[in-house]
């Protein structure tokens, strides 16, 4: 076969194969061109998932007829002036989008610059360029792509359904809109509105606040109410954005937006760093929501990895990863007192309005026996907090028995003291019910704490802190505990005596099918030793092949915390309950147990008022 130069149109079609994978990627090129031209308003229209029509109208600089002619030529660009590939500040720079798109579709570009009265249009169909013709036009540019891939039908076969292609296109526009808060965006499919956001006023919001506002506009109410603002600036690396509270999560990664130097990217390293930061805060297999902007000097990031430019490469990956994890952990750690408002909402919705009428109260309902109150008002079975021996001298409790069988009580304390106590974020304990939950009154509502979940988190965080130091304080058991196990379980434990000693558990063999526990971590106090050892065996068996126990610190802490915590069903007195609340306030991440469930729910007075139709 003779060696020959490829015809221009074929080159463009090959390039199109790289740049234009699907309608969404063509759309991305058009939108980025509009932004590079300084547009502040972009209107996007698509039809047939973008296969039939994609159009972008902008109010940017526009093009003269000469520029229009050059724009569709290969490797012509107005952007890469000094051939400095390491300092790219515009989206485009390859000058291949328009000629590539023109080679595989029917492309129509019309445009007008501000200092001319007339606009101009140009068509490219399957690579064939028309003459430039005049037409009336508003300032800016309109680019219309019809019948994408009509000239390369093989490509069409790889496209998904219209709905899927539309979803991809919308995602691209959403990401770009997030990164350009001062620009107004609209997107329609036929006459259906897919997205409308108006430019965030630079007079009202400046700097990061502009982005926060745009993120809220796009991600909606639920996220906005359950997100933590994050802002960090260290070693020339800046990270800011909104991240979801660990109590708000999704089954997929679709609500995760990441930007590097304002470009939407998908970067595995950073995604992994974010996942790590949420580790042990959210349930397995669930995903946090976030919109995060990473700003790094252009010299340490390479955006030229892939023509579609969603991948980047960092020169100092480790440092960047560390900064991201650090910033997220700090932000999440400061949110101990917040849990998702969605949870409060769900709680409220699960309250059913009583269907009975006042007249129908039966005699039994008025009797005060605990059993009758429990059966009639299960959810409200408030118990008087039991008094401990020491409490006989502490503040006395006055019970106020209400006719409905509920027992309310109140600490007799001066108003000021009460008020002062309520200033604690988690308020002041007033009761325990079902020996499982603690109710506290805060300044503007009530908090219901799951005592086991909360205590488990506290013990877990303490253990984690202890284990990160060198040694752990052990306590000899007065009576060593014998725990019977299967022979292979004993063998398994005996292989890990050193690891277990590191965690403060001193075991010895005791016959063929039992072990003796001599010492345990002091922190755990009185707990279900047998349950813990059995859980540890299960973990050891699973981990044996891959990791040492120390490497799986989290699992061990988790098991120990679970067994070493206040059980549901334990009665607590008021000082104990308040001690739990104060401890929670001091402990990072105490809003969730280590399985990602909330440890408490807060109901605001205004929510409770709504329940009773008072507002």
Rounded-to-10 torsion of CA 132, 134, 135, 139: 80
Among 97, 113, 556, 560, binds Mg ion (CB under 5 A): 97
Distance (Å, whole) CA 479 – CA 500: 19
DSSP letters along 489-545, please?
Answer: HHHHHHTTHHHHHHTT-EEEE-STTEEEEEEEEGGG-S--HHHHHHHHHHHHHHHTT
> Does 591 engage in binding with ligand ADP (CB under 6 A)?
no
Q: How far apart are CA 261 and CA 415, in angstroms?
A: 54
Should residue 411 be labelled a site residue for ligand ADP when binding is judged by CB under 6 A? no
Determine if 102 is a binding residue for ligand ADP (CB under 6 A): no
92 near ligand ADP (CB under 6 A): yes
Overall residue count recorded for the chain in this entry:
615
Q: Is 141 in the site for ligand ADP (CB under 6 A)?
A: yes
| Stretch binding Mg ion (CB under 5 A), from 32-40, 135-143, 435-443, 450-458 | 32-40
Binders of ligand ADP among 295-324, rule CB under 6 A? Answer: none
In terms of CB distance, is 71 or 560 closer to ligand ADP? 71
The DSSP-derived string for 47-114 is EGGGTSEEEEEE-S----HHHHHHHTSTT--SS--S--TT---SS--SS-HHHHHHHHSEEEEEEE-T
Asked if 71 interacts with ligand ADP (CB under 6 A), we say yes
Give the separation between CA 427 and CA 444, rounded to whole angstroms: 9
Note whether 442 binds Mg ion by CB under 5 A.
no
CB of 502 within 8 A of CB of 466?
A: no
Stretch that binds ligand ADP, among 32-40, 344-352, 425-433, 441-449 (CB under 6 A): 32-40
Q: Which is nearer to ligand ADP, 71 or 230 (CB)?
A: 71
Nearer Cβ to ligand ADP, position 58 or 499?
58
Residue 72 CB, nearest approach to ligand ADP (Å): 7
- Site stretch for ligand ADP (CB under 6 A), options 90-98, 361-369, 404-412, 533-541: 90-98
Binding status of residue 20 toward ligand ADP by CB under 6 A = no
Is residue 60 involved in binding ligand ADP (CB under 6 A)? yes
Q: Which 539-598 residues touch Mg ion, going by CB under 5 A?
A: none
- And the tokens for 589? 């991440």
Give the binding-site size for ligand ADP (rule: CB under 6 A): 21
Q: Give the nearer residue to ligand ADP in terms of CB position, either 75 or 434.
A: 75
Contact partner, 61, from ligand ADP, Mg ion, none, Cβ < 5-8 Å per class:
ligand ADP
E strand residue ranges, 375-513: 382-383, 397-401, 407-411, 428-433, 437-442, 445-450, 474-484, 506-509
Burial 204-223 (b: 16+ CB within 10 A, else e): ebeebebbbbbbbbbbeeeb
Q: How far is the CB of 116 from Mg ion (least distance, A)?
A: 23
> Do 296 and 240 touch, CB atoms closer than 8 A?
no
Rounded to 5°, angle at Cα 290 from 285 and 294: 125
Query: Which does residue 71 bind out of ligand ADP, Mg ion, none, counting CB within 5 to 8 angstroms by kind?
Result: ligand ADP
Q: Which of 19, 27, 37, 335 binds ligand ADP (CB under 6 A)?
A: 37
The helix (run of H) or strand (run of E) holding residue 233 is strand 227-234
For β-strands 600-604 and 445-450, DSSP reports them as: antiparallel
If one asks whether residue 61 binds ligand ADP (CB under 6 A), the answer comes out as yes
Q: Which residues have a Cβ under 8 Å from the Cβ of 66 and sit 6 or more positions away?
A: none
- Taking the complex as a whole, how short is the minimal distance between the CB of residue 30 and ligand ADP, in angstroms? 7
Q: Is 47 in the site for ligand ADP (CB under 6 A)?
A: no
Phi-psi group of 49: left, alpha or beta (phi > 0 → left; psi -120 to 50 → alpha; rest → beta) = left
Residue 60 binds Mg ion (CB under 5 A): no
| Inter-CA distances, 52 with 23, 49, 58, 335, 561, Å | 10, 7, 20, 48, 59
Spatial distance between the Cα atoms of 270 and 321, rounded to a whole number of angstroms: 6
- Considering the complex, state which of residue 97 and residue 243 has its C-beta at the smaller distance from Mg ion: 97
Evaluate whether 122 touches 130 at the Cβ level (below 8 Å).
yes
Task: Return d(Cα 498, Cα 421) in angstroms, integer.
Answer: 46
Q: Which of 29-37, 214-222, 563-571, 607-615 is the region at the interface with Mg ion (rule: CB under 5 A)?
A: 29-37
CB of 83 to Mg ion, least distance (A): 17
Least distance to ligand ADP, CB of residue 37, Å: 3
Size of the site for Mg ion (CB under 5 A): 3
- Binding of ligand ADP at residue 97 (CB under 6 A)? yes
499 to 131, 235, 287, 535, 537: CA distances (angstroms): 79, 38, 32, 15, 12
Binding status of residue 93 toward ligand ADP by CB under 6 A = yes
Nearer to ligand ADP, 144 or 499 (CB): 144
Q: Which is nearer to ligand ADP, 88 or 557 (CB)?
A: 88
Residue 116 or residue 372: which is nearer to ligand ADP going by CB? 116
Residue 29 found at the interface with ligand ADP (CB under 6 A)? yes
141 binds Mg ion (CB under 5 A): no
> Does the protein bind ligand ADP through residue 593 (CB under 6 A)?
no
* Residue 94, binding choice from ligand ADP, Mg ion, none, Cβ under 5 to 8 Å by partner class: ligand ADP
Phi, psi of 332 (to 5 degrees): -65, -35
Interacting partner of 93 out of ligand ADP, Mg ion, none (Cβ under 5 to 8 A depending on kind): ligand ADP
Q: How many CA atoms lie within 13 A of 339 on its CB side?
A: 30
Cβ 97 to Mg ion shortest distance, Å: 4
* Alpha-carbon span 478 to 484, nearest angstrom: 19
For position 34 contacting Mg ion by CB under 5 A, the verdict is no
Q: Which is nearer to ligand ADP, 262 or 329 (CB)?
A: 262
Q: Is position 174 an interface residue for ligand ADP (rule: CB under 6 A)?
A: no
By the rule CB under 5 A, 143 interacts with Mg ion: no
What is the footprint of Mg ion within residues 66-95 (CB under 5 A)?
92
Residue of minimal Cβ distance to ligand ADP = 92
Applying CB under 6 A, which of residues 47, 79, 129, 474 lies at the interface with ligand ADP? 79
| Member of 12, 13, 25, 33 binding Mg ion (CB under 5 A) | 33
Residues in touch with ligand ADP (CB under 6 A): 29, 33-34, 37, 58, 60-63, 71, 77-79, 92-98, 141
Residues in touch with Mg ion (CB under 5 A): 33, 92, 97
């Amino acid at each position: 076969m003779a060696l020959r130069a490829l015809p221009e149109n074929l080159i463009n079609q090959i390039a199109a194969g790289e740049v234009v994978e699907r309608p969404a990627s063509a759309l991305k090129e058009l939108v980025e061109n509009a932004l590079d031209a300084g547009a502040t308003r972009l209107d996007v229209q698509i039809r047939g998932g973008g296969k039939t029509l994609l159009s972008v109208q902008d109010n940017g600089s526009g093009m003269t007829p000469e520029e229009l002619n050059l724009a569709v030529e290969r490797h012509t660009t107005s952007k890469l002036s000094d051939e400095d590939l390491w300092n790219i500040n515009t989206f485009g720079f390859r000058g291949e989008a328009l000629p590539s798109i023109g080679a595989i579709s029917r492309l129509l570009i019309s445009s007008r610059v501000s200092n001319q009265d007339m606009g101009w249009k140009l068509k490219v169909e399957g690579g064939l360029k028309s003459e430039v013709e005049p037409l009336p036009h508003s300032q800016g540019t309109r680019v219309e792509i019809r019948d994408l891939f009509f000239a390369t039908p093989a490509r069409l076969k790889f496209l998904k359904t219209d709905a899927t292609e539309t979803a991809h296109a919308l995602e691209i526009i959403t990401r770009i809109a997030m990164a350009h808060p001062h620009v107004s965006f609209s997107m329609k499919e036929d006459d259906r509105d897919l997205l409308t956001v108006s430019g965030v006023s630079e007079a009202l919001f400046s700097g990061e606040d502009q982005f926060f506002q745009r993120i809220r506009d796009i991600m909606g109410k639920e996220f906005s109410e359950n997100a933590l603002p994050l802002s960090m600036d260290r070693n020339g690396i800046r990270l800011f954005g909104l991240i979801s509270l660990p109590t708000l999560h999704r089954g997929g990664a679709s609500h995760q937006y990441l930007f590097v130097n304002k470009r939407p990217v998908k970067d595995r390293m950073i995604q992994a760093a974010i996942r790590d930061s949420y580790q042990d805060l959210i349930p397995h297999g669930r995903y946090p929501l976030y919109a995060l902007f990473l700003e790094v000097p252009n010299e340490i990031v390479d955006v030229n990895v892939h023509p579609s430019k969603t991948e980047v490469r960092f020169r100092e990956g480790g440092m960047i990863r560390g900064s991201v994890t650090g910033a997220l952990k700090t932000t999440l750690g400061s949110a101990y007192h917040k849990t998702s408002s969605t949870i409060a909402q769900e709680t409220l919705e699960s309250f059913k309005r009583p269907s009975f009428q006042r007249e129908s109260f039966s005699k039994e309902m008025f009797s005060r026996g605990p059993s009758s109150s429990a059966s009639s008002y299960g959810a409200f079975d408030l118990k008087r907090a039991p008094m401990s021996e020491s409490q006989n001298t502490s503040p006395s409790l006055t019970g106020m028995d209400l006719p409905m069988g509920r027992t309310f009580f109140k600490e007799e304390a001066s108003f000021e003291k009460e008020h002062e106590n309520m200033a604690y974020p988690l308020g002041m304990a007033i009761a325990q019910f079902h020996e499982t939950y603690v109710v506290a009154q805060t300044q503007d509502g009530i908090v219901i704490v799951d005592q086991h979940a909360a205590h488990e988190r506290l013990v877990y965080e303490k253990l984690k802190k202890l284990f990160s130091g060198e040694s752990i304080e052990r306590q000899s058991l007065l009576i060593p505990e014998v725990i019977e196990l299967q022979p292979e379980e004993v063998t398994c434990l005996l292989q890990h005596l050193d690891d277990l000693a590191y965690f403060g558990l001193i075991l010895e063999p005791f016959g063929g099918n039992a072990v003796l526990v001599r010492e345990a971590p002091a922190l755990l106090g009185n707990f279900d030793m047998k349950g813990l050892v059995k859980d540890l065996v299960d973990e050891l068996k699973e981990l044996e092949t891959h990791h040492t126990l120390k490497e799986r610190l989290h699992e061990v802490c988790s098991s120990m915390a679970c067994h070493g915590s206040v059980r549901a069903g334990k009665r607590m007195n008021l000082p104990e309950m308040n001690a739990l609340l104060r401890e929670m306030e001091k402990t990072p991440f105490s809003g969730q147990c280590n399985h990602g469930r909330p440890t408490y729910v807060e109901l605001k007075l205004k929510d409770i008022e709504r329940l009773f139709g008072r507002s």
